[in-house]
Amino acid sequence: MTAYFNGLVLTEAGARPGVAELRLPEVGPGQVRVRVRAAGVCHSDLSMVNGTIRPSFPLVLGHEAAGEVVEVGAHVTRAAVGDHVVLNWQPACRTCWFCEQGEPWLCSTSSGVASLENGVTLDGVPVHVALGLGAFAEQVVAPENAVIKVPPALPLELAALLSCGVLTGAGAVRNTAQVRPGESVVVIGLGGVGLSVVAAARAAGAGQVIAVDVTEAKKSLAEAAGATDFVVSSDTLSKDIRGRTSGRGADHAFECVGRAATIRAAWRATRRGGKVTVVGMGSNDDQVSLSALDIFSSARTLRSSVYGSADFDLEIPRLADDVLTGRLPLDHLITDRITLPEIPEAFDRMSRGEGARSVVTL
């Protein structure tokens, strides 16, 4: 069955995306068609607009989403019509070397895929979809391993956040850094991912969660997420953090911006022997410089967290259960509810550092 749908299309980097009517391919074996009900506006989408990530064009944006399965192809076993599902923009092949080593977040088949061809314009021009999904759209056709069932009781606008921002932030805390009860945590950058780190750190039992951003406007959001302290970033940030952590620095620092300057700030804010986890995705030419002596004498660990170091098929159902039981509240993350035509304004707010997550409801 051929499906026509509206999607937010970007024609080239730097252009203003706009809504266009498109045609989905028919559902083939091993594929599902999902009616998108909610989609979060993630910084990775903005990175495709401003050229930090370089996909193919024309491009249907969006990848953080949830919806309802409306059609399944032959041999599909993971989902049935009517299921509520979260979309996974990096589905694991389960057969490559990384997957077999228990690291599906580094899957060599899906990692680094900025866009795939999937659909056409009404004029017959091939369309690409962001991160294999193109979820700023009324419908998507995706392989069955890109959908993960969630309980119908979970509101789909919250389920959408699990697809990227919350899984990335919570996974960084739980899987990559493995924050333990009573430890101190610094979170630099309070977008949707950073606020998810704050919430997950509190849920993990962190004794102190110090939230850092460039503007005082993020303080109320940080406190709603569970921050015990809030600091406006400055040249004296490491001194401010040490003053709040008995002079040592934090046990953990999470960098959720993706810039060399904030990675260095996270490094300096962490105690000797502490852990620095880079969650933000930066540009290729932004170089981080640390002295060889500092690396040796500080005994700190510096590592990144890709997609929360998570096995998505296991982690997303756990997160859904945590949200439903109240262990991981997420309502504070949604600061704007918008429609497809309003997404460009949401990108503008994100560029200015305003709010947490804008969620498109369809």
Q: What is the predicted pLDDT for the residue at 2?
A: 61
CATH code at position 252: 3.40.50.720
Please check whether residues 194 and 152 belong to one and the same domain: no
Q: What percent of the chain has pLDDT over 70?
A: 99
Kindly list the strands in the beta sheet with 270-278, ordered across the sheet, starting from the edge strand earlier in the chain: 229-232, 208-213, 184-188, 250-255, 270-278, 301-304
Residue 324, domain member (yes or no): no
The size of the chain, in residues, is 362
Residue 1 has pLDDT above 80, yes or no: no
Sort 173 into a burial class: Cβ within 10 Å, 0-12 / 13-18 / 19+: buried
Q: Please, what is the average pLDDT of the chain?
A: 95
β-strands 64-72, 31-40 pairing: antiparallel
Q: Tens of pLDDT along 4-41?
A: 899 999 999 999 999 999 999 999 999 999 999 999 99
Tell whether 174 and 277 lie within a shared domain: yes
Residue 284 or 173, more confident: 173
**What is the C-alpha to C-alpha distance for residues 58 and 353, in angstroms, rounded to an integer?**
27
Domain presence at residue 266: yes
Q: Which of 240, 299, 244 is nearest to 275 (CA)?
A: 299
Instruction: Tell me: do 7 and 151 sit in the same domain.
Output: yes
Structure tokens at 67: 């919806």
Strand partners, 334: 357
Predicted structure pTM score: 0.94
Number of compact structural domains in the chain: 2
CA dihedral 331, 335, 337, 343 (to 10 degrees): -130
Query: Minimal CA–CA distance to 18: which of 334, 339, 336?
Result: 339
Whether residues 189 and 297 share a domain: the answer is yes
Question: Please, which residues have CB within 8 angstroms of residue 246's CB and are 6 or more apart in sequence?
Answer: none
Query: Could you tell me the residue range of the domain that residue 120 belongs to?
Result: 3-163+330-361
Query: What are the structure tokens assigned to 23, written together?
Result: 């045609």
Q: Is the pLDDT of residue 203 over 80?
A: yes
Asked whether residue 230 falls in the same domain as residue 349, the answer is no
Contact indicator for 340, 6 with CB cutoff of 8 Å: yes
Contact 89, 133 (CB under 8 A): yes
Contacts of 3 (CB under 8 A, 6+ apart): 23, 24, 33, 139, 141
Cβ-proximal residues to 298 (8 Å cutoff; 6+ apart), any chain:
267, 270, 272, 273
Based on the domain organization, do 26 and 132 belong to the same domain?
Answer: yes
Q: Identify whether 339 is part of a domain.
A: yes
Condensed to tens digits (0 to 9), the pLDDT of residues 110-137 reads: 887 889 999 998 889 999 999 999 999 9
